Chains A and B, each alone.
Chain A
Amino acid sequence: MSASAITTGLLPADYREYALRLGDNALILGQRLSEWCGHGPFLEEDIALTNLSLDLIGQAQLLLELAGSQGDDTEQKTADELAYLRDADAFRNVLLVEQPNGDFAHTMVRQYLMDVYDEILYSELIRSGWQPLADIARKVLKEIRYHKQHSGDWLWRLGQGTDESHQRMQQAVDDLWFYTPELFENDDLQQRLQAAGVAPDMASIQTRWQAGVLPALKQAGLRPPESGWVATGGRKGHHSEHLGYILAEMQFLQRAYPGCEW
């Protein structure tokens, strides 16, 4: 046991698991957005979506590198190995980010819900006691703040747009809302990370997220659905069927041609 493990009570596997949670969220959302490449509603937005995707995949690269550097030589992995050679049940992303792009409304609602979450989370993580994570958070935060401006504008424009755009946005909120409680799950690892000063208090993140999202929905003329079924499982590797399809496409090349570079 290292000296830091004695003072924090955390093991390398705990640090790895937390970096995977953050990194997999970014990777899967980035991969989802990349599906829009060449299919955007108009050229300028097509490029904007691709920019968001590349930001997220860049974040994933840093976070998965950090995850892979934990533990001894036998446990360490490269970011590429973690991204391309893990099966679905080893992924730790929340279910929200693996939900299908659907129409542009679903993509933008999903994006906005995540952007607000990420902005609040990473604005806390820049003060994390885990210094390498705090350094990554500083870079991530700048990118996320732009993402939120972009998705927040669309939330308002389409929510207050035509009857059809409003109806599609409301449908997206209704469909995706029940995936959001998972963002704030406060499991055993999360509590130990918080106690060690690595991660923030999730209850306060949730309060701040609601204080950001609910007025924005209202301003856009949208409302969250009544409480109901709540999705969970991503942190334990229990994913929706969608993740398998995402990985089949994302991992194909490395699975078919191991070690291939281009």
Chain B
Amino acid sequence: MADMPLWEVFIRNQNGLHHKHVGSLHAADEKMALQNARDVYTRRKEGVSIWVVESRHVHASDPQDKAVWFEPADDKIYRHPTFYDLPDEVKNI
């Protein structure tokens, strides 16, 4: 329906540690958005928890800033944790 706002849907799967963006949908309010998300995005056991956020509340970086914002990280490989030995006790990195 044209007069219903757009919502972004985030799902956490059975073994997941965090919610992942899975798509968007239309709904009149948060209650309907959660139900619609359940019906549209968890039919195949995709998740055990849902977040919905009205799309207008999501602020995005400007695609035109891509080079300025993200390319300076390209030559700083020393920031990657690949140079360190991880103890076995540390999970989920």
What residues make up the interface of A, taking CB atoms closer than 8 Å to B? 41-45, 47-48, 51, 146, 149-150, 153, 157
Known: A51-B39, A51-B43. A44 touches B27 (CB 8 A): yes
| A42 in contact with B1 given A47-B40, A153-B35 (CB within 8 Å) | yes
| Chain B residues with CB under 8 A of A42 | 1, 4, 26
Chain B residue at smallest Cβ distance from A54: B43
Select from chain A the residue with minimum beta-carbon distance to B36.
A44
- B53 interfacial by beta-carbon distance below 8 Å: no
Considering the chains assembled together, what is the distance between the CA atoms of A43 and B26 in angstroms? 9
CB of B28 within 8 A of chain A?
A: yes
Residues on B close to A: CB < 8 A? Answer: 1, 4, 25-28, 31-32, 35-36, 38-40, 43
Set of chain B residues within 8 Å of A43, measured between Cβ atoms? 25-26, 40
C-alpha gap A73/B43 in the complex (Å): 38
Interface of A is mostly: helix
User: Within the complex, what minimum Cβ distance (angstroms) separates A23 from chain B?
Assistant: 23
User: In the complex, are the beta carbons of A153 and B31 less than 8 A apart?
Assistant: yes
Closest residue of A by beta carbon distance from B32 = A153
For A51, the chain B residues whose CB sits under 8 A away are 39, 43
Kindly report which residue of chain A lies nearest to residue B27, judged by CB atoms. Answer: A44
Q: Are A44 and B40 in contact (CB under 8 A)?
A: yes
Does B35 lie within 8 Å of A47, measured CB to CB?
A: no
> Bound state CA distance, A47 and B35, in angstroms?
11
Within the assembled complex, what's the spacing in Å between the Cα atoms of A150 and B27? Answer: 13
Residue of B nearest to A45 (CB): B36
Expressed in whole angstroms, the Cα–Cα distance for A41 and B31 within the complex equals 18
Enumerate chain A residues within 8 angstroms of B26, measured Cβ to Cβ: 42-44
11 contacts across the A-B interface (CB closer than 8 A): A42-B1, A43-B25, A44-B26, A44-B39, A47-B40, A47-B43, A48-B36, A51-B43, A146-B38, A150-B35, A153-B32
